[in-house]
Amino acid sequence: MTLSSVVIVGAGQGGCQAAASLRQSGFEGSIALINGEPGLPYQRPPLSKGYLLGKLDAQRMLLRQEHWYAKQRVDLISDRVAMIDRVGHEVQLHGGDALPYDHLILATGSRNRDLPVPGAELGGVIGMRTQADADALVGIVRPGLEVVVVGAGFIGLEFAAVAAALGASVHVLELADRPMARAVSATTSRFFRQAHEEWGVRLDFGRGVVGIHGDDGAATSVTLTDGRVVPADLVIYGIGVIPETALADLAGLEIENGIRVDAQLLTADPDISAIGDVASFPSAFAEGRVIRLESVQNAADQARHVAARLTGATRPYDALPWFWSDQGDLKLQIAGLADAADETVELAGLEPRQQTVLRFRADRLVAVETVNRPGDHMIARRILVETASPTKTEATEPGFDLKVWHAAHGLLAAG
């Protein structure tokens, strides 16, 4: 069947990339891109970093400039989808319109997990997710401001670094025993804990919030799980996200920690795909387990994959997962997927603000974490998709270097 119309629900990184990749792949039919937020689609990662620091303005945050949509014949619609009619092959918009589709791409993303404590509705309590959230903070973060950050994940620590750089007093609360515990090794956690402490950030582990108190509708303090009360003019929380599956669930699609898709990123309905934060898919890099990834790379690569499939290329989705986080003068980059039980080797002889950590499972390299080592990161991404990789024994040898190892073994493995 030749497709004549594609509807994309969600205009984040995945949705916009799907529209662009369809045109790049030669698709000539109609493309409708439904944006649930007002204005033009924009990047989210810089919101907690460069945008707040004034290094990026709203125009440079855009995923595509306005003229691009007209030039590429992408109908950008600012509305929300009320329901999917799978039998009639159309989506119903809240505004009343119905859009027919030959193929539907769900790129609905995720939403912040709410902070489930009394006082979370007070002014100055913000879950950093949208440009409106960031706009509410511009000009507010200043020297002397008492800031409490709930959650020491990527978003929380990125904001903490920005707030500290702007002179605020920053107190980070984390229920786990170390920063970014779900994402990185204990070695990398220690590296970032030390850096944040050097920037003046106070880190409190094994602690959460049980209540937020205010005056005249604005936050003034928080009560911790250990009973302490600490001042808080501003409370920023980042305690995880929830995939936006309501539309798919209402349409009868399978939900399994996201919208369940197969290795081609297809749902059980052959006319509906799901990509990005909302998609739960089998990954070769997770030993075939069904996983869901929250990253720009995953959303963009899955968008390219679906566009290629819809224009004739069929193969399983097999892109290597990789992630990054900018905190102060440190760029963390992660290639591959590691588990808490995986063994760790830290490479020696690097500069003080640099680090490379290799993660091994059964003596097989499965992930590499780097700080301010972009060369190691890029080489790691190549090694992790090749047939050979260094062993833990090799990695612990004095002077081991990823680039040198790959120069000696990578081409041989490829051959």
* Residue 138 belongs to domain spanning: 114-239
DSSP 111-164: EEPP--STTTTSBTEEE--SHHHHHTTTTT--TT-EEEEE--SHHHHHHHHHHH
Q: Quick one: pLDDT at residue 136?
A: 85
Which of 239, 262, 277 corresponds to the end of one domain? Answer: 239
Number of separate domains in the chain:
3
Same domain, 151 and 264: no
d(CA 383, CA 372) in angstroms, rounded, equals 19
Q: What is the dihedral of CA 130, 135, 138, 144, to 10 degrees?
A: -60
Q: 38-60 in b/e burial notation, b at 16+ Cβ within 10 A?
A: eebbbbbbbbbbbbbeeeeeeee
Does 81 fall in a domain? yes
Q: Is the domain of 335 the same as that of 231? A: no
Residue 219 lies in a domain: yes
Mean of the per-residue pLDDT values for the chain?
A: 94
Question: What percentage of the chain reaches a pLDDT higher than 90?
Answer: 86
Give yes or no: residues 218 and 275 share one domain: no
pLDDT of residue 97: 94
Instruction: Measure the CA–CA gap between 413 and 415, rounded to whole angstroms.
Output: 5
Task: CATH number of the domain at 388, please.
Answer: 3.30.390.30
Domain CATH for 215 = 3.50.50.60
Statement: residue 365 has pLDDT above 90? yes
Is 88 in the same domain as 106?
yes
Q: Is residue 282 over pLDDT 90? A: yes
pLDDT tens digits, 130-184: 888 888 888 889 999 999 999 999 999 999 999 999 999 999 999 999 999 999 9
The pLDDT value given to residue 74? 98
Any domain includes 225: yes
Of 281, 310, 339, the residue that ends a domain is 310
* pLDDT, average across residues 193-203: 98
Least confident span in 67-76, 123-132, 305-314: 123-132
- In this structure, the chain runs to a length of 415
Is there a single domain that holds both residue 30 and residue 93? yes
| H or E stretch at 243 | strand 241-243
Is residue 107 domain-shared with residue 256, that is, in the same domain?
A: yes
Q: Establish if 386 belongs to a structural domain.
A: yes
Q: What is the pTM of this model?
A: 0.94
Q: What is the mean pLDDT of residues 26-54?
A: 90
Of the residues 224, 239, 254, the one at which a domain ends: 239
Asked if 181 and 258 sit in the same domain, the reply is no
**Of the candidates 335, 298, 314, 307, the residue with the CA atom closest to the CA atom of residue 263:** 314
Same domain as 232, residue 127: yes
Above 80 in pLDDT, residue 259? yes
Non-local (6+) Cβ contacts of 127 within 8 A are 112, 114, 115, 133, 236, 237, 238
Nearest of 155, 154, 150 to residue 209 by alpha carbon: 150
Residue 316 falls inside a structural domain: no
199/127 same-domain check: yes
What single letter denotes the amino acid at residue 274? A
* Interval 318-341 mean pLDDT: 96
Q: Are residues 127 and 29 in the same domain?
A: no
8 Å CB contact between 263 and 316:
yes
Residues 137 and 168 in one domain: yes
Regarding whether 129 and 233 lie in a shared domain, the answer is: yes
